[in-house]
Amino acid sequence: MNSLVEELWTEVRRLIETVHDLPDAHLKKELAERALQLSKRAEAITNSMDDPEIIEMNIRRDQRRMRAGGLTNKAHRKIIDEMLGDAQTLLANLHRETPTPNVGRREP
């Protein structure tokens, strides 16, 4: 997941550099908004990488937002969907890495 965070930050930097070179104000705004959303996504991944409770909370929150139907902006829905996917992947990876306790097992 660290590589995803690095890729997101690389894309944020690229978008910011592109914004500085564009004459079109509308396109600048659109790319700046995308850079902001990607930076929030990278930050959310970084902040919750090792805490299953935070990840599960984020998944429930994002699922509620998607079901509520209040997200009419397609770009915003796409970001929420991406963040939901990130959280689910993080949680699955954490469950795979967490060793199961040896309950009832006797040591020799």
Backbone angles phi, psi at 70, to 5 degrees: -80, -5
Whole domain around residue 9: which residue ranges? Answer: 2-97
Work out the number of other CB atoms within 10 angstroms of the CB of residue 62.
21
78 within some domain: yes
| pTM of the full structure | 0.62
* Within-domain flag for 106: no
Confirm whether 11 is domain-assigned.
yes
pLDDT digits (tens, 9 = 90+) for 78-89: 777 787 888 788
Domain annotation covers residue 102: no
pLDDT, tens digit (0-9, with 9 covering 90-100), for 7-34: 889 999 999 999 998 999 999 999 998 8
Residue 103 in any domain: the answer is no
Whether 108 maps to a domain, the answer reads no
Domain count, the chain: 1
Assigned token pair, 48: 């919750």
Is residue 104 in a domain?
A: no
